[in-house]
Structure 1
Amino acid sequence: MNNLFELDKELIELQYEASSREEVTAYLAERLEAGGYIKSSFLPAVLEREKTYPTGLPLATFGVAIPHTDPEHVNKPAISVATLKEPVIFHKMGSPDETVQAKIVFVLAISEPSKQLVMLEKLMTLFRKEDVMNKLSHMTSYEEAVDVLQQELNQ
């Protein structure tokens, strides 16, 4: 753990089967809420924000999504991550008319606005590492996934 967020195996789901962006986002938010990281208002706020400010990002070989919302819905910072057996459609960040087939979803619970930009920069650096992202998308070990994410996001 670092001072930006909490990440443990309880907040990660590997090879999850979801039929929609709403389903995977809700599943990850449930994990965050069960751990006390977010308020009950978090999920509705994330889903509403996603309609106006979509978070799908195309990478070299597959897409990712980083749903998040305002800090007022967060109790303590954390990231919940799901790798998906089959991608789900998110709308593209900056181009909502376009879609992205997201294979990894990172739900961000950031409690301080000043730290949101830092976390997004760390994620963007990770997303540029095609080999690490491909490895992460196929992982089946929760401990290994936590180790890789902690190593990459703490650099």
Structure 2
Amino acid sequence: MIQDEGYGRASNPQEAVNSMEENSSENLDLAFDEDLVIIDIDLQTREEVIKLLSEKFIQKGYVTDKFTEAVLDRERKFPTGLPTVVPIALPHTDAIYCKKSAIAVGILKTPISFKEMGNPDKSLLVKIVFLLALPNPDLQTKWLQRLVEVFKDGEILKKLAGMRTKQEIFEFLNKALFKSKEVS
């Protein structure tokens, strides 16, 4: 379990109190370990990739049995592909299907077509998929914003796409997402 100690830091005391009250039922912990990283995924469709990553959450008890279908349904209606330097996708679904906050990462052997967020008529060849399970809707928004913020830096995604071991990917993402905004 990793805690995001610096994310959402308040700039004044009242903001800090408000932030603590908003997060009292769900802190910023997010389950992420090497077991939630899958490399060299050799599948043909986004549906297959989402099912594979979802299975990790189901095995760990992080989501309900309806999670996978809910993610697939949401991805059809509201695509999550992002046209970053190395295209990524951020599939997720409503909080009611999630029991515990977690992120799974899939590095694809060959890029797979995902529809672009905000432009569903356009397809992107995605290389990296980040599947999110977040039982708190406010936290879901914060983590999506955090991921987009971090991955605006194309160098981070280029490095990530070139990594070859689960441990290397886990340690790199741990630093990028949880420790600081700078990654070497």
Offset of residue 4 of structure 1: 3.6
Per-residue CA deviation, residues 45-77 of structure 1 (Å, 9 max, x unaligned), is 0001111100011112x3110100001100101
Query: Does 2:92 align with 1:68?
Result: yes
Look up the match of 2:84.
59
For the pair 1:103 / 2:115, whether they are aligned, the reply is no
In the alignment, which residue of structure 1 is the partner of 2:32?
Answer: 7
The SS at the match of 1:107 is strand
Structure number with greater Rg is 2
Letter in 2 for 1:25: I
In structure 2, distance between residues paired with 1:115 and 1:148: 22
Aligned to 2:147: 123
Comparing 16-25 with 126-135, greater Cα deviation is found at 126-135
Q: How high is the TM-score relative to the length of structure 1? A: 0.95
Structure 1 segments of 4+ aligned residues over 2 angstroms from their partners: none
Is the aligned partner of 1:34 residue 2:69?
no
Q: Is the 8 A contact 1:126 1:133 kept in 2?
A: no
Q: Which runs of 5+ in 1 are unaligned?
A: none
SS in 2 for 1:67: coil
Identity among equivalent pairs (%): 36
Question: What is the match of residue 18 of structure 1?
Answer: 43
1:137 maps to which of 138, 141, 161: 161
Contact 1:14 1:139 in 2 (8 A): no
Measured in 2, the distance between the counterparts of 1:120 and 1:35 equals 22
CA offsets per residue over residues 8-52 of structure 1, 9 Å max, x none?
Answer: 011110121111100100000001111111111000000011111
Q: Which ranges of structure 2 fall in alignment gaps of 5 or more residues?
A: 4-27
**Corresponding residue for 2:75?**
50
Normalising by structure 2, we get a TM-score of 0.81
Does the 8 A contact of 1:74 with 1:109 survive in 2?
A: yes
